[in-house]
């Protein structure tokens, strides 16, 4: 491996580690990653940078009882990372997003729900925000993320990773 490839690999690893360990901040998928990592695609080199941020229960503790519902909130924004899931100042309305669960058996991401971001003027949140209800049916820690496939106007994005602990207490 030459020095350039080694440097690119180190930078990609550093960005992925930031996404894994920073559970409440926006995790952009940069153009650098889009062109060097095979899982991401960009339909147009002019596509605008996008950011996805997700959180459970508006930042409250992320544990629940088996069978109880929790809210996964998020925002998809363009050009500027959001400061919270309610930050719709640069929100992308009516975009299809995928809620994914990490299968602990084989470490693959499984899409468990697909929804759309809110249109402009949606009360109480604005354009680009979304809320999904998740109800764990088994005890343990579950890992989630949200993805956006992108289009000719907006680049694809992957959210921060967030976890939910469920028990029988």
Question: Which DSSP string do the residues of 42-74 spell out, in sequence order?
Answer: -S-TTPBPEEEEEEEGGGS--EEETT--EEEEE
* pLDDT tens digits, one per residue of 97-144: 999 999 999 999 999 999 999 998 766 778 999 999 999 999 999 999
* Predicted TM-score of the model (pTM): 0.70
Query: Residue holding tokens 């519902």?
Result: 69
* pLDDT tens digits, one per residue of 36-71: 223 334 445 678 999 999 998 666 668 889 999 999
The tally of domains found in the chain comes to 1
- So what's the pLDDT on residue 168? 85
* pLDDT tens digits, one per residue of 149-169: 999 999 999 999 999 999 987
Residue 48 · residue 80 · CB < 8 Å: no
Q: For residue 105, give every residue at least 6 positions away whose Cβ sits within 8 Å of its Cβ, in sequence order, or none.
A: none
Could you list the residue range(s) of the whole structural domain that residue 155 is in? 3-167
Alpha-carbon gap, residue 118 to 110, rounded angstroms: 23
Q: Kind of pairing, strands 96-103 and 140-148?
A: antiparallel
Grade residue 73 by pLDDT with cuts at 50, 70 and 90: very high
Considering only residues 81 and 39, tell me which one the structure prediction assigns the higher pLDDT: 81
With a cut of 60, say whether residue 7 has pLDDT above it.
Answer: no
Residue 55 sits in a domain of what CATH number? 2.20.130.20
Residues in the chain: 169
């Amino acid at each position: 491996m030459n020095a350039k490839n080694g440097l690119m690999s180190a930078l990609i690893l550093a960005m992925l580690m930031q996404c894994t360990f920073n559970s409440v901040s926006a995790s952009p998928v940069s153009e650098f990653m889009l062109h060097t990592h095979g899982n991401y695609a960009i339909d147009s080199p002019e596509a605008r940078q996008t950011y996805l941020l997700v959180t459970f229960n508006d930042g409250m503790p992320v544990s629940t009882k088996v069978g109880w519902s929790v809210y996964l909130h998020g925002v998809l924004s363009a050009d500027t990372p959001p400061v919270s899931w309610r930050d719709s100042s640069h929100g992308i309305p009516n975009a299809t997003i995928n809620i994914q669960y990490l299968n602990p058996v084989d470490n693959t991401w499984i899409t468990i729900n697909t929804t759309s971001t809110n249109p402009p003027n949606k009360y109480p949140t604005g354009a680009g925000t979304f809320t999904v209800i998740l109800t764990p049916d088994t005890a343990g820690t579950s890992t989630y993320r949200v993805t956006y496939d992108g289009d000719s106007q907006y680049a694809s994005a992957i959210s921060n990773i967030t976890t939910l602990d469920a028990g029988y207490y």
